[in-house]
Structure 1
Amino acid sequence: MTDVCLDGSCHCGAVRFRVHLRDGLASARRCNCSYCTMRGAVAVSTRLDEFTILQGEDALSCYTFNTQQAKHYFCSACGIYTHHQRRSRPNEFGVNLACLAGHSPFDLSEVPVLNGRDHPRDGNPHRNPVFGTLIFRRCET
């Protein structure tokens, strides 16, 4: 699947958005930074100008930490993370795959986990960009 336009929303529907994904779900990833580890979401990437809030911009809250560069947005009513402006690529949003209509992170058998603990902007010369792979296998019924 490539070059798709998808609608998405938070859990309660207060925040609704549309996103254009030039590479479909191929950019799906997790991150091992302290925040993403706790959040546990799978994100896909899009350019800032290819993400449009359709409803509920006033319902979004923003969380930043450490360098204050990444901006993590979530619905102030239901608490669901919808998207974030990336620190490593500030011209992109990471969008919560689970918020996209008809999609689930459980549809993916493998998701790369990026090494956000040793962020490229922190100047670690021995940094490996990939930390590991998250693998999902359905149980036999």
Structure 2
Amino acid sequence: MALHKGSCHCGKVAYEVETDLEQVIECNCSICSRKGHLLTFVPRVALTVIQGEEHLSTYTFNTHTIRHRFCATCGCAPFGEGRKPTGDAMAAINIRCLEDVDLSHIEVTPVDGRSF
């Protein structure tokens, strides 16, 4: 596990997340495909918002179980929050918002979220 720093585009929202980036997915659901997210999932306790919680807005759709978080100023969506089927709190981290991550070295697994 490594500690990664991330932020929205304007920098008002900054966070740290502990993850190994071992499993990164590219989902084809309506929101992920439109926004171009590459996601890794972590326990919610592995994500710490360092600054800008007050600048985060929330969007939900469909079953309203995932809270898609985005900066109200720049619109960048660095992470989402939800629960696993077991009830455990989790976070979906958009790795495109992490600093110093070379995407060319990340193995991405496609996921058919459109069918769920």
Gaps of 5+ in 1: 120-141
Q: TM-score scaled by structure 2?
A: 0.89
Partner of 2:22 in structure 1? 26
Map 1:15-94 onto structure 2 (within 5 A).
15-21=13-19, 24-86=20-82, 91-94=89-92
**What SS class does the counterpart of residue 17 from structure 1 fall into?**
strand
Aligned residues: 114
Deviation at 1:45, TM superposition (A): 1.4
**What SS class does the counterpart of residue 22 from structure 2 fall into?**
coil
Gaps of 5+ in 2: none
Q: TM-score scaled by structure 1?
A: 0.74
Partner of 1:132 in structure 2? none
Q: Residues 66-91 of structure 1: CA distance to partner in whole angstroms, max 9, x if unpaired?
A: 11011100111111111012465562
Relative contact order, higher structure (CA 8 A, sep 6+):
2
Q: Percent identity?
A: 34
Cα RMSD, aligned residues only? 1.6
Contact 2:38 2:96 in 1 (8 A): yes
Contact 2:23 2:109 in 1 (8 A): no
More strand by share: 2
Structure 1 stretches (4+) deviating beyond 3 angstroms?
86-90, 104-107
Larger Rg: 1
**What SS class does the counterpart of residue 113 from structure 1 fall into?**
strand
